[in-house]
Chains A and B, each alone.
Chain A
Amino acid sequence: MDNREFDVIVIGGGITGAGTARDCAMRGLKVLLVERMDIATGATGRNHGLLHSGARYAVTDMESAEECIRENMILRKIARHCVEETDGFFITLPEDDLGYQATFAAACNAAGIKAEIIDPGLARRIEPSVNPDLIGAVRVPDGAVDPFRLCAANVMDAKLHGAKVLVYSVVTRIMKEGDTVKGIEVLDTRSGQKSEYYAPITVNAGGIWGNAIAEMAGAHINMFPAKGSLLIFEHRVNNVVINRCRKPANADILVPGDTVSVLGTTSTKIPFEECDGVRVTADEVDLLISEGEKLAPALADTRILRAYAGVRPLVATDDDPSGRSISRGIVLLDHESRDGIRGFVSITGGKLMTYRLMGEWTADLVCKKLGVSQACRTAEVPLPGSEPVSMEKEPKKKIFAKAETGRHGGLASRIRHENELQNSLVCECENVTVGEIEYAEDNLDVNNLVDLRRRTRFGMGVCQGELCACRAAGLLKKAHRCSDEAMDDLKAFIEERWKGLYPVNWGAAMRENEYTQWVYSGMCGFGEYDTEPTE
């Protein structure tokens, strides 16, 4: 086969696309994964990072709840290094109906989610940050999952199984012959080159942008972009996920993930035009804080690191064109049976937690269409990095070595620490060394500083890149062909960090921002005051 011909093309480098690509590749298919930006840039990288137990859905949507708990247990096995087994509480506050707790726990247990009503005093002892006024608590097997890592591990495994991955590649055309999709035309946004790729099946896993992909193929999906805003706190406020035990509402989940706690979310329907570059508003920030402090009162005075927003692709069921009836579960559309468009499949809806199942369903359909009879193995075969590693208390081991193991799991052993420079910290807040950055650039498809951040947590810490952005800009050897590119990337990185800082610009964050302004606008002379001669 030509290197432009594949068995299946997957559009979208979010977790759904990555999971689908991995599944297809593991079944022996020749896979092309195409992503318009970096992997995990859409909703995948813009959520809580909650490893749902499914408890949240148990009362309203039993099917989703059952899917969640099954996938939850699978992820603990196949993606150990992406998961933190924290457990979660569903707390009842005095203003909530305590009667709901029993309904809730019963529904959880019916769905196979181990839910245990515990004494509020015990909850306070286990999680001291929890609102001390709570009158009820249910313990469920929630956890935290790092979506960047999870997505990267799926992409990596897909590649290990022969998949080709194109990032920064925008689908500009879906090529059809009659009613059959034959392939796609792709624009490499870095080189400006257009290329064509062919496959008997193209999978649309574009998240909210999948709406436009479907239109390109001549299909229409009834999608509704729902913006959700979240806040990241400076450090871990809690070590157990805290949820409100009531019907899902704004800002009712606080998830400890890595070195921070994440509070979310709001939910607002927005027009499609606004899906790119959504920004968190001041009102959303205020709402999140006022609701969040009911979960953990300490949030009221805890430094906020940044705010961010994602767009969830809500899909209306096909039988309801008004869009009032939103499907909560996985939506797999075979456009051949639905619209008469052959060789085209859309996978949407669902959630981060069920990405693997979405991939499985999609791969099943793809295989069926291709007449391939390989079974799905993604629930059993661990992702790269998931191998068990010791995270014992080793006081002699440097923090960065432990942090690397936390981030890369078993693959951390591939990070080279052969000299003192490779042991040197670039990002001091998140303990990212030169060695880890070299590893990321060599192995994890890093094209710029923002990608590097997603692979390593560089620039994700307290100073949001103030201290380390310039250092890292000096280290990326392949991504930057010249110093001008490095400077442009450095400015773009700082701009990207500011996007999340701008909505929370007060208190310590404002002090930090002012300092960052001095360093980059003042000392380095970046920005619109750049008076460098151009001749």
Chain B
Amino acid sequence: MNENFEQCLKCTVCTVYCPVVPVNTDFPGPKQAGPDGERYRLKAGLFYDDTLKYCLNCKRCEVACPSGILIGDIIQKAKMKYGPQKTKLRDAMLAETDFMGSVATVFAPIANPVLAARPVKAVMDSVLKIDHRRTFPKYSGQKFVTWFRKNMAAGQEKYPKKAVYFHGCYVNYNYPALGKDLVAVMNALGYGISLIDGEKCCGTALIANAMGKRALRQARHNVKAIESASDAGRLPVISTSSTCSFTIRDEYPHVLGVDNGKIRENVSLAVKFIYSLVENGEVKLVFKPGYRSKVAYHAPCHMEKLGWNIFSEELLKMIPGLDLTVLDSNCCGIAGTYGFKKENYEKSQAIGKPLFDQIGKVAPDFIACDCETCKWQLEMSTPYKVKNPVTILAEALDLDATAKANNHQ
């Protein structure tokens, strides 16, 4: 019983930190939906409660739980095991990031204005129940993978050390610039980057939309692909998305039951990986002398669950001229595809409100955040741009000087 649900003492601490409970009275709360409900579901599947779909899977309950219960995992598993077995077209569209991404990339010049156009949004709203107030992430005209293969792949052999990059869907389809930043920073640190042959979406959206079979297939595929790309876990595998890292490390074994034992320890976030290199004196960072910025750091929920927000914070603190405010721990409300659904829009914005308000008070130059869906939400709900700490690092570093300091080129 790896979720440990029987350890629950009914102390109700999880309910104190659930972001959904105060904004959605239909959600039974993590305790009832998780360990309490599980005892009944073990008795009979008919005790499954449809309102479990309101869970964000933010894992804040797990971080708060004094008993180490994987409450979010229990809920996700219950959704897959007992929930409706047919997936709505809308949910499938949102969850099938690879398919949608591949199609949209080809048609990016058309897809972007179309997705932004009012009549289209109205149709999506009324037919698909995707809220019209949502801004869709723009699709890039060229996939990150295409760019990398064309321009970078050949040159990576010359670096003394190697790392594998799990770019994820967002970098590939929507925002290759982040991937480019990662490659630039890692190259400067002396690491050649390789990609994973046949990398697929980590599957977080499939899990959230209870598409268990698809998620399982993707997880198995990715674990194999990562195993072979990383020389059976001997090479570090880094990512720039907290959710991708979290999904591969923890959701694969806990929620999907996929054994990732060979690679788990080596799958990391770029910020953690770089922090450790600096901390252990393996690399040096040389920053641009004139760099100035005022930054508000928002720790994504899954980053807090990973317990790695400290690495982003410490890395940002290393940048001279960067004035850092760490925002209060608060879910932004988007939770991947959750906030896109019409029925969740208001709730999603209500969950994020304290965070938006605090950002307004801080009035930063921009927001730092490790998660792409938080980025969509924050850019839509506040006037500020959101940058991944790796991008900030790329901007603040004197890349040439850093490369020299690390004794290559």
Touch A–B, Cβ below 8 Å: yes
Chain B residues whose CB sits within 8 angstroms of the CB of A392 once the complex forms: 46
Say which residue of B7, B10, B45 sits within 8 Å of A463 (CB atoms). Answer: B10
Q: Which parts of A383-397 form the interface with B (CB within 8 Å)?
A: 391-396
What 0/1 readout, one digit per residue, does chain A (290-313) give for beta carbons within 8 Å of chain B?
Answer: 000000000000110000000000
| B26-65 residues at the A interface, CB under 8 angstroms | 28, 31-32, 35-40, 42-50
Check if A259 sits within 8 Å of B67, measured CB to CB. no
Q: Which residues of B contact A512 (CB under 8 A)?
A: 9-10
A403 touches B46 (CB 8 A): no
Selected from B7, B11, B28, B46, the residue in CB contact (under 8 A) with A394 is B46
| B84 at interface by CB-CB < 8 Å | yes
If A258-B43, A511-B67 touch, whether A395 touches B6 (CB-CB below 8 Å) is: no
Q: Which of B11, B45, B48 contacts A515 (CB 8 A)?
A: B11
- Whether the pair A235, B48 counts as a contact (CB closer than 8 A) is no
Q: In the complex, which residues of chain A have a beta carbon less than 8 angstroms from the beta carbon of B40?
A: 259, 399, 402-403, 431
Minimum CB distance partner of A466 in chain B: B10
Complex-state Cα separation, A259 to B44, whole angstroms:
9
Q: Of A395, A403, A429, A467, which is within 8 A of B48 by CB?
A: A395
Contact for B49 among A236, A399, A429, CB less than 8 A: A399
**Which residues does chain B contribute within 8 Å of A302, judged by CB atoms?**
1, 6
In angstroms, Cα B5 to Cα A303, docked, is 10
- The reply to whether A515 and B39 form a contact with Cβ atoms under 8 Å apart is no
Query: Contacts A403-B40, A429-B36 known; A462 to B46 CB distance under 8 Å?
Result: no
Q: When chains A and B are docked, how far (Å) is the Cα of A33 from the Cα of B49?
A: 42
B8–A236 touching, CB < 8 Å: no
* Contact partners of B50 in chain A: CB under 8 A: 395-396
- Cα(A303)–Cα(B9), bound, Å: 11
A234 to B6, CA, bound (A): 7
Which residue of B9, B39, B67, B84 contacts A395 across the interface (Cβ within 8 Å)?
B84
Q: Are A508 and B7 in contact (CB under 8 A)?
A: yes
Complex-state Cα separation, A508 to B67, whole angstroms:
9
Whether the pair A235, B38 counts as a contact (CB closer than 8 A) is: yes
Question: Pick the contact of A508 from B6, B28, B42 — CB < 8 Å?
Answer: B6
CB < 8 Å neighbour of B32 from A428, A511, A515: A428
Contact with B along A474-493 (1 / 0, CB 8 A): 00000000000000000000
> Quick one: given A393-B48, A395-B48, A399-B47, are A463 and B42 in contact (CB under 8 Å)?
no
- A contact residues around B44 at 8 Å (CB): 391
For residue B38, give the distance in angstroms from its CB to the closest CB of chain A.
7
Contact B9 A508 (CB under 8 A): yes
Whether B142 sits at the interface, judged by CB under 8 Å, is no
Q: Which of A272-321 contact B (CB under 8 A)?
A: 302-303
- How far apart are the CA atoms of A126 and B66 in the complex, in Å? 35
Asked if B12 is an interface residue, CB under 8 A from chain A, the answer is yes
- Determine the chain B residues whose CB is within 8 A of the CB of A508 once the complex forms: 6-7, 9, 67
Chain A residues with CB below 8 A from B12, complex form: 467
- Tell me if A236 and B43 are in contact (CB < 8 A): yes
A37 to B49, CA, bound (A): 38
Cβ–Cβ < 8 Å partners of B45 in chain A: 393
Query: In the assembled complex, which residues on chain A have CB atoms less than 8 Å from the CB atom of B31?
Result: 428
Inter-chain contact B6/A235, CB cutoff 8 Å: yes
Q: Are A399 and B37 also in contact (CB < 8 A) when A235-B42, A394-B46, A467-B12 are?
A: yes
Whether a CB of chain B sits under 8 angstroms from the CB of A190 is no
Q: List the B residue with the shortest CB-CB distance to A305.
A: B6
A324 an interface residue at 8 Å Cβ cutoff?
no
Q: Could you mark each residue 1-28 of chain B with 1 if its beta carbon is under 8 Å from any beta carbon of chain A, else 0? A: 1000111111110000000000000001
A502–B49 Cα distance when bound, in Å, is 34
Within 8 A of B (CB), among A416-459: 425, 428-429, 431
- For B32, the chain A residues whose CB sits under 8 A away are 399, 425, 428
Shortest CB-to-CB span from A304 to chain B, Å, is 10
Q: Given contacts A236-B39, A429-B39, are A467 and B46 in contact (CB under 8 A)? A: no
Query: CB-defined interface of A229-270 with B at 8 Å, one 1/0 digit per residue?
Result: 000001110000000000000000000101100000000000
- CB-contact partner of A462 in B1, B8, B28, B43, under 8 A: B8
Whole-angstrom CA separation of A298 from B12 in the bound complex: 27
Binary interface encoding of chain B residues 70-85 relative to chain A, with 1 for a CB under 8 A from any of its CBs, else 0: 0000000000000110
Bound: A348/B9 CA distance, A: 41
Q: Are the C-beta atoms of A467 and B43 separated by less than 8 Å?
A: no
Chain A residue at minimum C-beta to C-beta distance from B48: A395
* In contact, B49 and A398 (Cβ under 8 angstroms): yes
Contact of A259 among B39, B48, B49, B83 (CB under 8 A): B39
List the A side residues contacting B9 at CB < 8 Å: 462-463, 466, 508, 511-512, 515
Instruction: Find out whether the CB atom of A402 lies under 8 angstroms from the CB atom of B47.
Output: yes
Known: A303-B7, A391-B46. A428 touches B36 (CB 8 A): yes
A258 to B38, CA, bound (A): 13
Docked pose: A511 CA to B44 CA in angstroms: 28
Closest to A519 in B: B11
Residues of B within 8 A of A256 (CB): 43
- Mark A68-81 against chain B: 1 for CB-CB distance below 8 A, else 0: 00000000000000
Instruction: Say how far A497's CB is from chain B's closest CB, in angstroms.
Output: 13
CB-defined contacts of B46 to chain A, threshold 8 Å: 391-394, 402
Give complex CA distance A431, B33 in Å.
12
Distance to closest chain A CB from B13 (angstroms): 11
A182 to chain B, nearest CB (A): 50
Contact pattern, A 196-237, Cβ under 8 Å of B = 1, otherwise 0: 000000000000000000000000000000000000001110
Nearest-CB residue, chain A, relative to B28 = A399
Q: In the docked arrangement, what's the CA distance between A302 and B1, Å?
A: 9
CB distance from B306 to the nearest CB of A (A): 26
- B33 to chain A minimum Cβ distance, whole angstroms, is 10
CB distance from B77 to the nearest CB of A (A): 15
Chain B minimum-CB-distance residue to A402: B47
Separation in Å of the A221 CB from the closest CB of chain B? 40
Near A by CB (< 8 A), chain B positions 169-226 give none
Chain A nearest Cβ from B234, distance in angstroms? 35
Bound together, the chains give a CA A466 to CA B8 distance in angstroms of 12
Contacting residues, chain B, for A402 (C-beta < 8 A): 40, 46-47
A425 to B36, CA, bound (A): 12
- A511 to B10 Cα, complex, angstroms: 11
Please indicate the chain B residues that have their CB under 8 angstroms from the CB of A396 in the complex: 50
Q: Least Cβ distance of B120 to chain A in Å?
A: 32
- In angstroms, how far is the closest chain A Cβ from the Cβ of B260? 24
How far is it, in angstroms, between the C-alpha of A201 and the C-alpha of B84 when the chains are bound? 60
Instruction: Tell me the minimal C-beta distance from B409 to chain A in angstroms.
Output: 56
> Chain A contacts of B39 at CB under 8 A?
234-236, 259, 429, 461-462
Query: Do A428 and B10 touch across chains, with their CB atoms under 8 A apart?
Result: yes
**B47: which A residues are within 8 A, CB to CB?**
399, 402-403
With A and B bound together, what is the CA distance between A429 and B12 in angstroms?
Answer: 12
Q: How far is the CA of A463 from the CA of B31 in the complex (A)?
A: 13
B residues near A425, Cβ cutoff 8 Å:
32
Which residues on A sit within 8 Å (CB–CB) of B48?
393, 395
The CA of A256 and the CA of B44, in the complex, are separated in Å by 12
Contact check, B42 vs A467: say whether CB atoms are below 8 A apart.
Answer: no
Q: How far is the CA of A429 from the CA of B11 in the complex (A)?
A: 12
| Cβ–Cβ contact A467 & B49, under 8 A | no
Residues of B within 8 A of A511 (CB): 7, 9, 67
Nearest CB on A from B4, distance (A): 9
- Which of B9, B12, B44 is packed against the most chain A CB atoms within 10 Å? B9
**Bound-complex Cα distance A235 to B32 (A):** 15
Q: CA A511 – CA B65 in complex, angstroms?
A: 14
Distance between A18 CB and nearest chain B CB, rounded to angstroms: 26
Q: In the complex, what residues of B have CB within 8 A of residue A234's CB?
A: 6, 39
Interchain CB contact under 8 A, B6 and A467: no
Having A461-B10, A463-B10, one finds 6 other A-B pairs with CB under 8 Å, namely A259-B43, A303-B7, A425-B32, A428-B32, A462-B8, A466-B9
The 6 closest A-B pairs by CB, nearest first: A395-B50, A463-B10, A303-B6, A234-B6, A236-B42, A393-B46
Q: What are 15 A-B residue pairs whose CB atoms fall within 8 Å in the complex? A: A234-B6, A236-B39, A236-B42, A259-B42, A393-B45, A402-B40, A402-B47, A428-B36, A429-B36, A462-B8, A466-B9, A467-B10, A508-B67, A511-B7, A515-B9
